[in-house]
């Protein structure tokens, strides 16, 4: 599996997962820098970030804050 395919699959798993532990696990390996994602994934990344920013879990919100801080 290519890195881009892995990133896309991870973003989709985060978006679709209802299990909080699964979402945490996915975020542990996702980069917080926009440049780490191919251009074709930026829309999916932005959607993931929007969801993470308003998530009730503080760990998930911190991930979004880290991504925002690095200029995403």
Q: What is the pLDDT of residues 5-38, one digit of tens each?
A: 999 999 999 999 999 999 999 998 999 898 999 9
CB 32 within 8 A of CB 63: yes
Q: Shortest CA distance to 54 belongs to which of 45, 46, 64, 44?
A: 64
Quote the pTM value: 0.85
Question: Encoding tokens for residue 51?
Answer: 């969801």
Checking if the pLDDT of 72 tops 50, the result is: no
What integer best gives the mean pLDDT of the chain? 91
The pLDDT of residue 4: 96
Q: How far apart are the first and last CA of the chain?
A: 25
CB 44 within 8 A of CB 8: yes
Q: How far apart are CA 65 and CA 72, in angstroms?
A: 10
CB 13 within 8 A of CB 26: yes
The pLDDT of residue 70: 55
């Amino acid at each position: 599996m290519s890195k881009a395919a892995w990133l896309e699959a991870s973003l989709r798993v985060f978006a679709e997962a209802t299990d909080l532990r699964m979402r945490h696990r996915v975020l542990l390996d996702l980069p917080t820098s926009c440049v780490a994602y191919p251009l074709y994934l930026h829309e999916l990344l932005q959607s993931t970030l929007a969801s993470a920013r308003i998530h009730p879990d503080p760990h998930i919100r911190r991930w979004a804050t880290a991504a925002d801080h690095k200029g995403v």
